[in-house]
Structure 1
Amino acid sequence: YLDDGYASARAATVTIGTAGPAPKPGALPGAKGADKTLEPGGTTHFVIRDTWGNVASMTTTVESFFGTGRMVGGFFLNNQLTDFSFSPTQPDGQPVANAVAGGKHPRSSMAPVIVFARDGKTVVAAIGSPGGSSILCYNLKTLIGVLDWKLPMQEAINLPNVVARGDQIRVEQARMEPAVWDGLVQMGYKLTAVTGEESGLNGFILPGDGTVNGGSDPRREGVFIRGSQ
């Protein structure tokens, strides 16, 4: 939801220098969207740029391992319907936006990204990742790394993953500098050290000199391949 006013209101909830309260969900138009979905693993992502400059960023999933368990034509059908909320109403009787209904797409955190220059035509980068609701954090970390900190794609991907869900902040402590961890704790953030934020992000950035700078998450089995022209 990219409305400028809405984005500014969300940015205003971020505190600088000290840990603030967990931001409340944004007030989007529509019914309530309770999180009553499951997040088993079964997702992958790839990005492609061809000789002619065409770019694809695609996240694909069977939702959980082997999807529905039914194979058709050599591939498994997904069980994406489990991304709907399992309850159609809230305890107060209000409808849930993510309830099952004909013709609807279930809520999803899949976020394939293609970044354009300000002209709206020139491709700057493309990234994406598996990871359920953590995808948004993986993508944001990498975009900050390459766009704001000017890191090569691989270095940005290698940065420690930090996944915040309200007051719960999961951090790859083994990849984080101790001084950064200590600084966040001193600011009042409650951090939990984890090893399971494995991302799987793949992406590339186009520096503008005719080269392609790509990377793939070493936490999983991805690889960056530069083909012949």
Structure 2
Amino acid sequence: FGTPAGAPRLGADATREPAGTSHFVVVDARGNAVSMTTTVESLFGSGRMAGGFFLNNQLTDSSLVPTAADGTPAANAVAAGKRPRSSMSPVIVLDREGRLVGALGSPGGSSILAYNAKALIGALGWGLPLQEAFDLPNLVAKGDGFGADTEGFPSAVRDGMAARGVVLRPNTTETSGLHGGLWRDGRWDGAADTRREGVARTQ
């Protein structure tokens, strides 16, 4: 801390650090699709690309302590040639013939996988319109903890789960921001999560 002798005077740091993640899906008239999660910590990371990938601007997806207290190396320590752990999982859905039938994804930190799974089960497994699938309450199980949109679950469901030892607590991670579309009945069924900003536009 402080200013070392001989250090140049610098202005205030103006680095733009928007919070959170965003996701978008685009499908053109020819059936080309992009499902893109737009963060590598900050939006588009460092803003620099190498080999077709945006470079991270932080190392928070890696262990900042290289060893445990007993000296055991951390599995996720920063090192050359390693990939940081990440829950980003933009989804492209293909049918059995390899044709595009959908694309979706979400921000949400380590809960992204649960948000995507909920949407896919609701839309593909239960046949819900995509907006209804996105609007289902979230439930994120991590170890023995269960974070949820607690008020979105009927009290009977919450009581039944509690009786089985599953106590729903408010979600402590970023909320979902699902965005995507499914090809149904000759048209795109587009949707955007109402928990965040975003819209779906189809033609």
Q: Same fold (TM over 0.5)?
A: yes
Distance in 2, matches of 1:156 and 1:195, equals 22
1:108 corresponds to 2:86: yes
TM-score, normalising length from structure 1?
0.71
Task: Tell me how far 1:97 sits from its aligned partner.
Answer: 2.8
Amino acid at match of 1:94: T
Partner of 1:46: 24
SS in 2 for 1:206: strand
State the TM-score, normalized to the length of structure 2: 0.79
Equivalenced residue count is 180
Change (3 A) 1:210 1:172: same
- Matched letter for residue 98 of structure 1: N
Q: What is the CA-CA distance between 1:224 and the residue it aligns to?
A: 0.3
Structure 2: stretches of 5+ with no match in the other structure: 1-17, 49-54
| Offset, 1:60 | 1.3
Alpha-carbon contact 1:172-1:197 (below 8 Å) kept: no
Say which one has the larger Rg: 2
Residue 194 of structure 1: CA displacement?
4.4
- Do residues 210 (structure 1) and 186 (structure 2) align? yes
Aligned counterparts of 1:80 and 1:115: Cα–Cα separation in 2: 31
* Map of 1:87 onto structure 2: 65
User: What pairs with 1:175-214 in structure 2 (closer than 5 Å)?
Assistant: 175-194=152-171, 198-207=175-184, 209-214=185-190
Q: Which amino acid counterpart does residue 37 of structure 2 have in structure 1? A: T
**Once the two structures are superposed, what CA deviation does each residue of 1:127-166 show, in whole Å capped at 9, x if it has no partner?**
1111110101111110110111110110000000111111
For the Cα contact (< 8 Å) 1:42–1:67, is it kept in 2? no
Q: Kindly report the root-mean-square deviation, in angstroms, between the aligned alpha carbons of the 2 structures.
A: 2.4
**Secondary structure at the counterpart of residue 215 of structure 1:** strand
Q: Which sections of structure 1, spanning at least 5 residues, go unmatched? A: 1-39
CA separation of 1:145 and 1:189: change in aligned 2, threshold 3 A? same
- Choose between structure 1 and 2: higher strand proportion: 2
Hey, what's the Cα distance between the residues in 2 that align with 1:65 and 1:50?
24
Name the counterpart of 2:106. 129
Superposed displacement of residue 90, structure 1: 3.1
In the aligned structure 1, how far is the partner of 2:183 from the partner of 2:150?
30
